[in-house]
């Protein structure tokens, strides 16, 4: 009898063990991710300043947020930055992938060169580009020393153009990664389809325009999702490259949230800006992840 209960216990333990081992991860995720999200959402409806308070003020923070000039600058900047970043990264990535796919000698050397920036931190990237784009010591000076006396490149000091410096550095960092994604997609295309089209007299241009690029749809989708979520989260690069300046000209939602929450003691407004960021990313990621996980079944 005792032996029976013993084996019974053991089998039941074996049934429960997997869930027991998974439980801590799941609990931690529920608490630290979803619990924290809920907490920040709640905070965004309170009048919290330096410390969290629970005096509910309804949508006041959101109303204040969208009345702030500062937030409008951040929104305009992220819109410009994200669209340029996504379009340029995708174009360069696709171009390089197609060119590398032409039976190139030295592909094994070129590919890692295109991709290594992805291994660097945005702070390192920001430091390198900050000084390279600095008119006093960087590109402008180099061009003048090389004899182009009238060359001028002062974007990083300009209220209107500093944002494009962030685009340059961000593209430099991630375009190689997009290249790798497209290259993997290209290598997965069945050559028989291409040969058949060639026999039908399709030109190279038509081949890419009509067959190859449409077949790369999944890679385009992945690139878009990854790049857009990277763009919305971009914080480090802005801090390292421009610090949000000159003035507030390169402020982004991520830097806005940080400064309102931790340096300006407007926690309620900071929380509401974080909620807006989350909703934007969720609008892109949730359908994508849902589709990916659904397909697997």
Q: Which of residues 258-277 bind another protein (CB under 8 A)?
A: 258, 261-262, 267, 270-271, 273-275, 277
Site track for another protein across 130-169, x = CB under 8 A: xxx---xxx--xx--xx-----------------------
Contacts (CB under 8 A) with another protein, residues 65-84: none
Q: Please select the residue that binds another protein; options are 73, 92, 165, 166, rule is CB under 8 A.
A: 92
Q: Please select the residue that binds another protein; options are 76, 112, 152, 217, rule is CB under 8 A.
A: 112
Q: Please select the residue that binds another protein; options are 243, 247, 283, 287, rule is CB under 8 A.
A: 243
Q: In the complex with another protein, which residue's Cβ is closer, 86 or 257?
A: 257
Q: Please select the residue that binds another protein; options are 6, 50, 99, 283, rule is CB under 8 A.
A: 99
Q: Please select the residue that binds another protein; options are 75, 127, 157, 215, rule is CB under 8 A.
A: 127
As a whole number of angstroms, the distance between CA 218 and CA 101 comes to: 18
Q: In the complex with another protein, which residue's Cβ is closer, 43 or 167?
A: 43
Interface with another protein by CB under 8 A: which range of 54-62, 64-72, 76-84, 127-135?
Answer: 127-135
Site track for another protein across 208-237, x = CB under 8 A: x---x-----xx--xx-xx--x--xx-xx-
Q: In the complex with another protein, which residue's Cβ is closer, 21 or 67?
A: 21
Q: Please select the residue that binds another protein; options are 91, 95, 210, 214, rule is CB under 8 A.
A: 95
């Amino acid at each position: 009898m005792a032996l029976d209960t013993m084996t019974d216990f053991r089998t039941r333990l074996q049934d429960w063990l997997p869930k027991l081992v998974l439980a801590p991860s799941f609990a931690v995720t529920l608490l630290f991710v979803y619990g924290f999200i809920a907490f920040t959402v709640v905070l965004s409806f309170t009048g919290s300043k330096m410390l969290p308070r629970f005096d509910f003020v309804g949508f006041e923070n959101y109303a204040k947020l969208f009345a702030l000039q500062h937030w409008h600058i951040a929104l305009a900047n992220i819109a410009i930055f994200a669209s340029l970043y996504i379009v340029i990264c995708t174009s360069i990535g696709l171009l390089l992938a197609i060119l590398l796919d032409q039976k190139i000698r030295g592909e094994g050397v070129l590919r890692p060169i295109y991709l290594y920036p992805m291994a660097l931190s945005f702070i390192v990237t920001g430091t390198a580009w900050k000084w390279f784009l600095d008119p006093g010591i960087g590109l402008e000076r180099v061009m003048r020393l090389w004899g182009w006396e009238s060359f001028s490149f002062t974007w990083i000091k300009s209220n209107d153009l500093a944002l494009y410096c962030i685009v340059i550095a961000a593209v430099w960092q991630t375009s190689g990664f997009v290249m790798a994604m497209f290259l993997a997609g290209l290598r997965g295309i069945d050559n028989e389809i291409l040969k058949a089209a060639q026999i039908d007299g399709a030109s190279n241009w038509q081949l890419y325009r009509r067959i190859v690029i449409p077949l790369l749809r999944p890679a385009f989708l992945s690139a878009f999702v990854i790049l857009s979520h990277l763009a919305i989260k971009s914080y480090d690069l802005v801090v390292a490259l421009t610090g949000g300046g000159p003035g507030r000209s390169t402020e982004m939602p991520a830097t806005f949230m940080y400064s309102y929450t931790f340096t300006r003691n407007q926690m309620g407004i900071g929380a509401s800006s974080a909620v807006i960021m989350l909703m934007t990313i969720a609008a892109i990621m949730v359908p994508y992840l849902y589709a990916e996980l659904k397909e697997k079944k």
